[in-house]
Amino acid sequence: MKVVFLKYAKQELDDATQFYELEFSGLGRRFREEVKNAVSRIVEYPEAWPLERGDFRKCMLHKFPYVLLYSLEKTHLIIIAVAHQHRKPEYWIDREIT
């Protein structure tokens, strides 16, 4: 299944990776690996995670306080946000999926 990150989700991933790398060398790489592992789990079991709002689902990362918010489409998966769990809940709601 094809996975597409929205522009803002990609920016959030890059920002968080950079932040963690500045905190501790190699931590940004581990964060990115954890996101990759979560995406793999979602692709394998796309309906396993709970609905967060409407048709959007939420997959929590295991080792970092982030969630991947995604939409399951017929031919692909759209990552809407790479969201920190303790900051501005639901800030991503108005994002367009196009």
pLDDT tens digits, one per residue of 59-98: 999 999 999 999 999 999 999 999 998 877 676 666 666 5
Is residue 68 assigned to a domain?
Answer: yes
Is residue 52 assigned to a domain?
Answer: yes
d(CA 44, CA 66): 20
Q: What pLDDT score was predicted for residue 7?
A: 95
Q: Contact at 8 Å (CB) between 9 and 82?
A: yes
Q: For residue 46, what is the domain's CATH number?
A: 3.30.2310.20
Is residue 91 assigned to a domain?
Answer: no
Is residue 92 assigned to a domain?
Answer: no
Q: Contact at 8 Å (CB) between 9 and 81?
A: yes
How many structural domains are present in the chain?
A: 1
Q: Which domain holds residue 51?
A: 2-84
pTM: 0.89
Is residue 51 assigned to a domain?
Answer: yes
